[in-house]
Amino acid sequence: MTVSVHPPGRFPAAAARVVVDSLRDAVRRRGACSLALAGGSTPRPVHERAAQARRAPWERVTIFFGDERGVPPGHPESNYRMARESLLDRLPVEPARVHRMEAEREDLDDAARRYAALLPDALDVLLLGIGEDGHTASLFPGSEAAAESSRKVVQTRAPVEPRRRLTVTPPVIRAARTRVVLARGASKAAAVQRALDEPGDPADCPARLAAGGHWVLDREAATLIDG
Ligand code: 6PG
């Protein structure tokens, strides 16, 4: 596990550097990189800076999503829309290398199975966020999805709107070669502390699934962790 802590104003640039360095490392090792993006609001400024990075090997990157809300891709709550605005529209990535999760589909189970078939056996770089309740992707504490042990993608219901979701599962998070967790703000401090300092069942705090990864925090999100 690596934890890097940054002044709040430096968080987006520092996180973007970790992401770009992870992409470069994967391309150096394997000639290409599969990257799964996180949702929510934290990634937006990180994406904007990563899109400006001259050293990023975007032409070798295939893009996936860790989860998606059950809304159309142009909806304000869509993780795809956030990624398109802050990253994808600014990159030389052809559409065939961007795999959107079609969580707006009526048959979410079919959409989950189709998306799982697109995923590699192991993602090279998986970006994740963390919710105040310790969720990550759309794996919420105590949910069936957070206890899924075989399927790669499942449908689930969030405790907040938009409730219909598609999400990658614990096996996908565990198999990822590099996991980067992005967290900023005092509201995340308790969840970060639970995930990193309190051993326990990941089903109770799904962000624990990424405890062995690289956690990029601002000072406010890191206030409760040891060291
Ligand atoms: C989602 C995300 C989710 C997010 C956390 C943090 O679809 O909401 O995948 O796991 O990363 O909820 O969200 P913020 O970055 O908005 O705090």
Q: What are 41-83's pLDDT values in tens digits?
A: 999 999 999 999 999 999 999 999 999 999 999 999 999 999 9
Q: Is residue 102 in contact with ligand 1, taking CB distance under 6 Å?
A: no
Rounded Cα distance between 56 and 5, Å, is: 22
Integer CA distances (angstroms), 136 to 61, 106, 160, 205, in order: 23, 24, 14, 8
Q: Which residues, other chains included, contact 84 with Cβ-Cβ below 8 Å and sequence gap of 6+?
A: 73
Angle between helices 43-50 and 79-86 (to 10 degrees): 30
Q: In the beta sheet, which residues pair with residue 136?
A: 139
Show the tokens assigned to 201. Answer: 């069942």
Distance (angstroms) between ligand 1 centre and the Cα of 22 equals 21
Is the dihedral angle over the CA atoms 141, 115, 119, 31 positive or is it negative? negative
What residue ranges of the chain have pLDDT lower than 70? 227
- pLDDT reported for residue 65: 99
Q: Is residue 131 in contact with ligand 1, taking CB distance under 6 Å?
A: yes
Rounded Cα distance between 48 and 25, Å, is: 20
Query: By alpha-carbon position, which residue is closest to atom 10 of ligand 1?
Result: 137
What's the number of CA atoms in the CB half-sphere (13 Å) around residue 116? 19
Query: By alpha-carbon position, which residue is closest to atom 12 of ligand 1?
Result: 131
The answer to whether 204 touches 134, Cβ cutoff 8 Å, is yes
- pLDDT reported for residue 32: 98
Q: Is residue 185 in contact with ligand 1, taking CB distance under 6 Å?
A: no
Amino acid found at 190: A
- pLDDT reported for residue 227: 62
Q: What is the pLDDT of residues 82-108, one digit of tens each?
A: 999 999 999 988 999 999 999 999 999
Distance (angstroms) between ligand 1 centre and the Cα of 40 equals 4
- Report which of 142, 130, 132, 161 is spatially closest to residue 40, judged by C-alpha positions: 130
The answer to whether 180 touches 125, Cβ cutoff 8 Å, is yes
Helix (H) or strand (E) holding 46: helix 43-50
